[in-house]
Amino acid sequence: MKTFYRFSLAIICLTILHIQASAQGCVAVRHMSCALPGSASSADFFKQRTGHWQVNMGYRYFRSFRHFKGDVEQKERLENNTEVINISHALDLGITYLATHRLSFTVNLPIQYNDRSSLYEHYGNSITANPEQKRFRTGSQGIGDVRISGSYWLVDPAKQSRVNLALGAGIKLPTGNPGVTGDFHKLDKEKRDYVINKPVDQSIQLGDGGVGFSLEGQGYAQLTGGLTAYFTGYYLFNPRETNNVLRNPEATTIDLVTGYFSVADQFAARLGLSQSIKAIPGLAVMLGGRVEGVPSSDVFGGSKGFRRPGYIVSVEPGLAYMKGKFSASATVPIALYRNRIKSYSDKLDPLGLRHGDAAFADYSVGVSLSRWF
């Protein structure tokens, strides 16, 4: 029973190892890990009191294509084949130093590959402007914004408390390029194709160009011998209002509100249950809920600049497995509710009619692997 109890706690911490704060679509959430160091509640894996290292790797994929304005889907975009399609692959690499059972420090580096296809950014959506309805692609690839964080468990995990809470804080550095450019196809007056090079859409930029700081929390409560509740929460504060990336450098005038990309706050949270499987030691099934997104206004600093705020509420089934010093988990958040809320610039419309849209995915896939040394 004691070993089984330790396994159940270790599994719980594995389930909350990674919240990939990469919203499922055009809601522009930078991809980066907002995970607190996991597995620190299992004494089985920490024979030494200090100097323990853990390497982590997380992968996430999504394909966004469903457009929403508010929480209403713009179904005509799919019917007319004018939807914007974003495909995102992100690999999150991390290393954790466990100073004690309770205190740990983590560095995370995301590596991204993004592909985006659309009509409106090139020839246009209308039959008149784009009679052949040609679709073109832009993309980005490279490192994202590095995050350095620390976490502290309020109760020593070695005491095998049935309830525990860890609090953490971090800093996000602007290591990802916020001004990746791509080739956009246009037609001149004689309907001849020409190309202009300018920044790609904010949703596939590698970074946001600002220094941010985060507050985080994770916890668990053992309900029965193998059933445990878990939660995680994360909020990234980005005080900088805009970066220096001009969205439309070919424009004759600059929009003072949306001319540059916003450096937006972001958030994510999870809540769920994990059930250990007695017949297969180290295996657990999880079922929970997840919310992630971007607010229309920042907590600190101004909120001007172009952003697509909104949030996604998902149900999140998954599996986790631990054996020796190795652990793995896989989750598939499935979107239940999507809402592209009004942005700061939308709210400035005196008639209250302006409301931009955004594309969301139906689901995403997340896989994480960890190894202790």
DSSP state of 31: P
- Which letter, b or e, does each residue of 129-162 get, where b requires 16 or more Cβ atoms within 10 Å of its Cβ? ebeeeebbebebeeebbbbebbbbbebebbebbe
Give the tokens for residue 229.
Answer: 């509740």
Q: How many residues are present in the chain?
A: 373
pLDDT score for 94: 96
Contacts for 273 with CB less than 8 Å, ≥ 6 apart: 223, 227, 228, 229, 230, 286, 287, 288
Nearest CA among 249, 244, 315, 322 for reference residue 286 = 315
Digit-coded pLDDT (tens) for 143-168: 999 999 999 999 988 887 899 999 99
Answer whether 138's CB lies under 8 Å from 106's CB. Answer: no
With 0-12 / 13-18 / 19 or more C-beta atoms within 10 angstroms meaning exposed / middle / buried, residue 113 is middle
Sign for the pseudo-dihedral over CA of 94, 98, 102, 104? negative
Q: Which residues of the chain have pLDDT under 50?
A: 1, 3-5, 7-8, 11, 15, 18, 20, 28, 30, 32-50
Q: In the 8-state DSSP scheme, what is residue 70?
A: B
Asked whether 318 and 338 are in contact (CB, 8 A), the reply is: no
Give the per-residue pLDDT at 119. 97
What helix, strand, coil percent values describe the chain, rounded to 5? 10, 50, 40
Residue 32, SS3?
Answer: coil
Residue 288 CA: distances (Å) to CA of 78, 132, 193, 232: 30, 45, 49, 11
Residue 241 CB neighbour total at 10 angstroms = 17
- The pLDDT assigned to 31 comes to 52
Give the pLDDT of residue 277. Answer: 93
* Distance in angstroms (rounded) separating the CA atoms of residues 243 and 262: 6
Element (H, E) at 11: helix 2-15
Structural domains in the chain, sorted by start: 2-372 (2.40.128.130)
**Each residue of 11-29: b (16+ CB within 10 Å) or e?**
bbbbbbbbbbbbbbbbbbb
pLDDT attached to residue 157: 83
Residue 27 confidence (pLDDT): 57
Say how many Å lie between the first and final Cα of the chain, rounded.
26
CA-CA-CA-CA torsion for 341, 82, 196, 129, nearest 10 degrees? -120
